Amino acid sequence: MPSLTSNNERTAVIALHCSGAGANQWRALDELLDGRYSLIAPEHYGCDSVGPWSGERAFTLADEAARTVEIIDRQRSKIHLVGHSYGGGVALRAALERPHGVASITLYEPSAFHLLKGMGTRGAREFAEILGIAARTAEGVVAGDWRGAARSFVDYWGGPGTWSSLRPSVQAMLTRWVPKAPLDFRALIHEPTPPSAYAKLRIPTLVMRGEHAPAPTRLIAETLPSLMPAAKLLVVPEAGHMGPLTHAQTVNAAIARHIGEWDETAVRRAAGL
């Protein structure tokens, strides 16, 4: 199914990577889309291509989402929005700012940690868990133990031993990046959007989580479909939080299928069927 565009231009898919990763996270998705869409994978502050946050004021999720919002504004047709973990939180913020510019949303365990604060006893437990890993990461950065902070961060999200399995070049990249991690945690935890605001996103949304998702992002992924009128949940078998990397074939196929379903529906609507 070709993408709906004006003047034969390809519809854009904006894919937002997780904390500590980069645009290369979505290379396999780009190959799967096979030229049917224009994949745009902007990188976040802290990546080598972007550089650090300016430090001119307290960092917010809106600051990170501004680049994505600008890309949406430049398009001549609605875009498809994809996000993993931190990228999922950024995607939600961008969608709230430009709901009429987004055709579909796909989120893999979006780390919208601010939602945990309103989820009762279970939410409080999972929120405390996130505060713990955020504090350990920040303490390592402040102490100058960037490598230790990166190791702790990676092994929490990927599972024990993940850090030691990484190539030295990847460990070096993550060590350079990790001073940004406390800003990511703070932005996600202190995001001011109330849960009720997500009801405004009447956009076809696929929320995915891994079968072995960490408790905080599992709860967020399971809750979002109750907040978003057009959202549904998909559990990826055998995957964890890093499913878009460890189970890329399955996750990317689900992303492409969700995007394609929106295009097919839009074609039928335009034809009056």
As beta bridge partners, residue 232 has 206
Residue 149: is its pLDDT beyond 60? yes
pLDDT tens, position by position, 186-239: 999 999 999 999 999 999 999 999 999 999 999 999 999 999 999 999 999 999
Task: Enter the tokens of residue 88.
Answer: 């999922």
- Mean pLDDT, rounded, of the chain: 93
Mean pLDDT of 22-30: 97
Higher pLDDT, 67 or 264: 67
Confidence of residue 264 (pLDDT cuts 50, 70, 90): low
Residue 85: is its pLDDT beyond 70? yes
Pinpoint the alpha helices (H) of the chain.
27-33, 61-74, 86-97, 120-143, 146-158, 162-165, 168-177, 181-189, 215-227, 243-246, 248-270
Confidence of residue 270 (pLDDT cuts 50, 70, 90): very low
Residue 267: is its pLDDT beyond 70? no
**pLDDT confidence of residue 269:** 54
The model's pTM is 0.93
- Mutual angle of helices 86-97 and 181-189, in 10-degree steps: 50
**Which residue, 116, 113, 67, 115, is CA-closest to 94?**
67
**pLDDT confidence of residue 3:** 43
Are 189 and 215 in contact by the 8 Å Cβ rule? The answer is no
Q: Which residue has the tokens 């996600």?
A: 188
Confidence of residue 92 (pLDDT cuts 50, 70, 90): very high
- CATH class label, 12-114+194-270: alpha beta
Task: Enter the tokens of residue 64.
Answer: 């990170």
**pLDDT confidence of residue 93:** 98
**pLDDT confidence of residue 263:** 73
- Greatest Cα pair distance, the chain, in angstroms, is 63
In whole angstroms, give the CA distance from residue 119 to residue 125. Answer: 10
Mean pLDDT of 59-81: 97
To 5 degrees, how large is the angle CA 232–CA 236–CA 241? Answer: 100
Spell out the domain ranges in the chain.
Answer: 12-114+194-270
Residue 5: is its pLDDT beyond 90? no
Mean pLDDT of 24-41: 96
**pLDDT confidence of residue 130:** 98
Mean pLDDT of 232-250: 98
SS3 20: coil
What letter would DSSP give residue 113? G
Question: Within its chain, how far is the Cα of 191 from the centroid?
Answer: 15
Are 195 and 118 in contact by the 8 Å Cβ rule? The answer is yes
Task: Enter the tokens of residue 115.
Answer: 């939602």
Mean pLDDT of 242-268: 87
Proportion of the chain above pLDDT 90, given as a percent: 90
**Which residue, 92, 138, 139, is CA-closest to 111?**
92
**pLDDT confidence of residue 9:** 74
Task: Enter the tokens of residue 34.
Answer: 């096979």
